[in-house]
Amino acid sequence: MHGTGDNGGTEETGRAELTAIGLMSGTSLDGIDIAVIRTDGERVSWRGPSATYPYVPELRERIRGLLGRKPGEAAARTIDDLTDAHAEAVLAFADAAKLDLGGIDLVGFHGHTVFHDPDHGVTCQVGDGARLAGRLDRPVVSDFRSNDVLAGGQGAPLAPLYHAALARPIEPPLCVLNLGGVGNLTWISPDGAVVAFDTGPGNALLDDWMRRRTGHAMDADGLAARSGKIDEKALAQLMQHPYFRRAYPKSLDRDAFDATAIGDLSTEDGAATLAAFTAEAVKRGRDLLPAPPLRWLVTGGGRHNPALMAELRLRLDAPVEPVEAVGWRGDFLEAEAFGFLAVRSYYGLPLSLPATTGVPGPQTGGHLDRP
């Protein structure tokens, strides 16, 4: 190890702080989020520069073509190209941020989730950690979810331990709600215990609806949803999905839900109904928690949609704020989390717990590739 890893152990844990780059390619397929943090695997002492590098459209569509199934041999070129896109993004990022990669101890490489079916023991994130380590000449931790699923867990969500690390100064009980393609929450109790699970749809259904109806990637600024009217009958039909009757821990694939119930609605009414669906699913998740949170902090792309935030405030009976209200970076929280988890993996610390993924006991994970 290089860089801050030479600084000796922190007083609390005895483990050296490491500087890590976290990489996240989210379900929205926007691009590659990059963030730098310094941590001993429990406390975060510094959050450094961050940036997003969009996928070129041709690669984005090839990755989209892998969704919903385990990739075969024909996917090898796309996986190599996705890995190389991450390498090029990190190199460009380091140049722009005047960051010496020689001072980076670890790179946390999530890859891109193309298929997630933990009930049948399968989760698949594409990306080649060894190839990335060679391109960057840095140690890379990847494959964060497989150990959890093989041990009987859901393999998701994995960010809760990072949420809990950041939330130490904030009065609990607290909920951190991530609205990416899928919605997931982290509930942090007064004694620091953590509960986490996927709530239901995040942005994926609404994004797909807008793409089909308008050709646009999303409902920018919630304009369509704010112009439409919620179809309560369709919303009730969407909420009949058996997922909502399951106890937690539980997790979802991006494509677990479909929009058949709103197929005859206008673009605007469909958008309004799907925004309400995401919020109502979160409310249903709240009702499963050991105690209602005093506050909701929202991260992920969904916090940028005023219609969705308004629906959450209407339904959750507690303050709902973007995570920026407490100084966190909502666009880079997941990238930071995989830098944090890379360090935990390196030190053999758990990445998941029974109350976050349903794994039988605290579970380590991740695969280390050295250059």
pLDDT tens per residue, range 166-216 = 999 999 999 999 998 899 999 999 998 999 999 999 999 999 999 999 999
Domain match, 152 and 165 both = no
Categorize the per-residue pLDDT at 8 as very low, low, confident or very high, splitting at 50, 70 and 90.
Answer: low
Question: What's the confidence (pLDDT) of residue 153?
Answer: 96
Instruction: Specify whether 364 is located in the same domain as 302.
Output: no
CA distances, 18 to each of 90, 102, 141, 362 (Å): 18, 12, 13, 22
pLDDT classification of 253: cutoffs 50, 70, 90: confident
Q: What is the pTM of this model?
A: 0.91
Is the pLDDT at 11 greater than 80, yes or no?
no
Please determine, for residue 270, whether its predicted confidence score (pLDDT) is greater than 70.
yes
pLDDT digits over 226-238, tens only? 999 999 999 999 9
Kind and range of the H or E run holding 183: strand 182-188
Distance CA 305, CA 218 (A): 10
Please report whether residue 327 resides in a domain.
no
Determine the residue type at 360.
P
Check whether residue 109 and residue 11 sit in a common domain: yes
Pairing of strands 18-25, 31-39: antiparallel
Check pLDDT > 70 for residue 22: yes
- Please indicate, yes or no, whether residues 293 and 337 belong to a single structural domain of this protein: no
Same domain, 27 and 113: yes
Same domain, 345 and 211: no
* Shared-domain flag, residues 184 and 242: yes
188 and 299 together in one domain? yes
Is 323 domain-assigned?
A: no
pLDDT computed for residue 14 by the predictor: 87
* Contact call for residues 24 and 110 (beta carbons, < 8 A): yes
Q: Give the pLDDT score at 250.
A: 93
Task: Assign residue 208 the CATH number of its domain.
Answer: 3.30.420.40
pLDDT of 249 over the 70 cut:
yes
96 and 110 belong to one structural domain: yes
Determine the average pLDDT of the residues in 40-49: 97
82's enclosing H/E stretch is helix 76-96
Q: Does 194 lie in the same domain as 101?
A: no
Domain hosting 241: range is: 160-318
**Does residue 324 form part of some domain?**
no
The set of residues, in sequence order, having a beta carbon less than 8 Å from that of 314 and lying 6+ positions away, is 279
pLDDT of residue 352: 97
Both 242 and 117 in a single domain?
no
* Model pLDDT, residue 353: 97
Strand partners, 20: 37, 106
pLDDT at 165: 96
Q: Which 8-state DSSP code applies to residue 244? A: G
Please give the backbone phi and psi of residue 290, each rounded to the nearest 5 degrees, phi first: -60, -30
Task: Examine residue 33 and state whether it is found in any structural domain, yes or no.
Answer: yes
Confidence band for 26, pLDDT divided at 50, 70 and 90: confident
Tokens 């030190």 found at: 347
Task: Give the residue from 25, 111, 117 showing the smallest Cα distance to 68.
Answer: 117
Asked if 200 and 149 sit in the same domain, the reply is no
User: Where residue 254 falls among pLDDT bands split at 50, 70, 90?
Assistant: confident
> What percentage of the chain exceeds 90 in pLDDT?
89
pLDDT at 13: 75
Please report whether residue 326 resides in a domain: no
Give the three-state DSSP class for 272: helix
- Residue 45: the pLDDT is 97
Tell me what pLDDT residue 300 has.
92
Q: What is the pLDDT of residues 138-172, one digit of tens each?
A: 999 999 999 999 999 999 999 999 999 999 999 99
Does residue 325 belong to any structural domain of this protein?
Answer: no
Report pLDDT digits (tens) over 62-83: 999 999 888 988 899 999 999 9
Q: Name the domain count of the chain.
A: 2
Tell me, yes or no, whether 94 lies in a domain: yes
367 contacts: CB under 8 Å, gap ≥ 6: 129, 141, 142, 143
Give the pLDDT of residue 28. Answer: 77
| 342 in a structural domain | yes
The token pair that represents 265 in the structure block? 């609605």
